């Protein structure tokens, strides 16, 4: 298997992307194509032991910046690392990973891979850490405004991903709302609730945001605006509490000394809540595997995003979505 990595994408690229690619090539049994400015990448590669590793540099002179307008950037920079990596994933490689401009990564996947027939709106599915593990939220930002049938397809795609890639036998799918009762929510939520009742997923009803961190569902379905708020609030509160704990535990020298033996326990907490643990977020509904990693990704996050891409290819998520969409087409058009 071959994964094309946008080596120039992300706040810490190319140092961390290259380091992550080296780790992936070493441990995952796949070849990584490092796409970007050859010289910069080779300089980074020279800092690691890469002899015999399945790594190859593909030159791409242009870079799409974080702030650029996505669709425009993709059109104007056909020789950017992102666009070339995505192009490669439709032929020579099996998947694409980028930690760069996420809007542009989405646009590149849409343009180069195309949508799966029958899927109107591809969506980004993000895993968020919870008390017992993780939960998949779909959509976390691809579609600001949605219709009920879009959310129905998100539910189906999310369920397949959790089953195939995260190996949850029968994923419980819940609809995000401001109350558990069927009658709660916006018009969008109420209509989607009705569609999900007859959808080919294990629909468990509405879920309130306060229950999301406690794994009462495996897949949380929502529009991209609300999903973004949910995901980012989670991220914000985790980092706020982490800072608060650090501040309180370093308040005076006695507290500092007392807390030293607890460092392993705090490290375990940190790793249980680490967003980097889960790698990137797949764009589901496109005709290929595209993984969008966090802009702040370090080497570990990049390596894990490559691992997510590998699993998605191995488990045939795209094919599974294709056949599920075909089978559920009448439901989607109800």
Residues that bind a second copy (CB under 8 A): 130-131, 141, 144-145, 176, 178, 184-187, 189, 208-214, 224-226, 228-241, 243-245, 248-249, 251, 254-255, 258-259, 261-262, 265-266, 268-269, 272-273
* Shortest separation between residue 149's beta carbon and a second copy, angstroms: 18
CB of 28 to a second copy, least distance (A): 29
Based on CB atoms, which residue is closest to a second copy, 41 or 176? 176
Cα separations in angstroms, 170 against 123, 126, 162, 163, 219: 21, 18, 9, 7, 11
Query: What is the C-alpha separation between 236 and 255, in angstroms, rounded?
Result: 26
**What is the distance between the alpha carbons of residues 183 and 12, in angstroms, rounded to a whole number?**
46
Query: Which residues make Cβ contacts (< 8 Å) with residue 199, sequence separation at least 6?
Result: 152, 155, 156, 173, 328, 331
H/E segment holding residue 47: none
Which residue, chain included where needed, has tokens 């969506």?
123
Least gap, CB of 65 to a second copy (angstroms)? 14
Distance CA(331)–CA(199), nearest Å, equals 7
- The minimum distance between CB 8 and a second copy, in angstroms, equals 22
In the bound state with a second copy, the residue whose beta carbon lies nearer, of 120 and 145, is: 145
In angstroms, what is the minimal distance from the CB of 251 to a second copy?
7
CB-nearer residue toward a second copy: 255 or 323? 255
Q: Per the structure block, which two tokens stand in for 24?
A: 């992936």
Residues 207, 4: Cα–Cα separation, whole Å:
37
Is 64:74 a contact under the CB 8 Å cutoff? yes
Max CA distance (Å), the chain: 67
Ranges of H-type helices in 114-223 = 148-164, 187-197
The token pair that represents 265 in the structure block: 């326990």
Least distance CB 123 / a second copy (angstroms): 14
Question: 51 vs 254, which CB is nearer to a second copy?
Answer: 254
Query: Of the two residues 32 and 146, which places its CB atom closer to a second copy in the complex?
Result: 146
Residue nearer to a second copy on the CB measure, 68 or 298: 68
Rounded Cα distance, 33 and 14, in Å: 13
Nearer to a second copy, 136 or 309 (CB): 136
Is it true that the peptide bond before 139 is cis, omega within 30 degrees of 0? yes
Residue 273 beta carbon to a second copy: minimum distance, rounded to whole angstroms: 7
């Amino acid at each position: 298997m071959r994964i094309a990595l946008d080596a120039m994408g992300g706040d810490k690229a190319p140092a961390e992307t290259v380091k992550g690619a080296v780790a992936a090539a070493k441990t995952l049994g796949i070849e990584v194509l490092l796409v970007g400015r050859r010289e910069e990448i080779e300089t980074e590669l020279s800092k690691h032991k890469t002899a015999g590793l399945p790594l190859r540099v593909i030159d791409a002179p242009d870079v799409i910046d974080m702030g650029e307008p996505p669709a425009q950037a993709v059109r104007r920079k056909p020789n950017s690392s992102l666009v070339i990596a995505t192009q490669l994933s439709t032929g020579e490689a099996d998947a694409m990973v980028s930690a760069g401009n996420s809007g542009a990564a989405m646009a590149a996947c849409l343009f180069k891979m195309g949508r799966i027939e029958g899927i109107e709106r591809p969506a980004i599915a993000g895993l968020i850490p919870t008390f017992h593990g993780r939960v998949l939220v779909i959509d976390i930002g691809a579609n600001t405004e949605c219709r009920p049938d879009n959310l129905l397809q998100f539910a189906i795609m999310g369920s397949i991903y959790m089953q195939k890639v995260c190996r949850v036998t029968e994923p419980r799918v819940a609809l995000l709302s401001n109350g558990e009762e069927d009658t709660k929510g916006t018009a969008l939520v109420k209509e989607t609730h009705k569609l999900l009742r007859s959808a080919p997923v294990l629909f468990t009803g509405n879920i309130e945001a306060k229950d999301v961190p406690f794994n009462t569902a495996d897949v949380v379905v929502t529009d991209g605006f609300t999903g973004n708020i949910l995901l980012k609030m989670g991220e914000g509160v985790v980092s706020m509490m982490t800072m608060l704990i650090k501040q309180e535990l370093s308040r005076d020298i006695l507290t500092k000394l007392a807390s030293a033996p607890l460092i392993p326990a705090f490290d375990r907490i940190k790793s249980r809540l680490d967003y980097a643990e889960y790698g990137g977020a797949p764009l589901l509904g496109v005709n290929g595997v595209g993984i969008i990693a966090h802009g702040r990704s370090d080497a570990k996050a990049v390596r894990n995003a490559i691992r997510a891409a590998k699993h998605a290819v191995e488990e045939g998520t795209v094919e599974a979505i294709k056949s599920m969409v075909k089978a559920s087409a009448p439901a989607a058009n109800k």
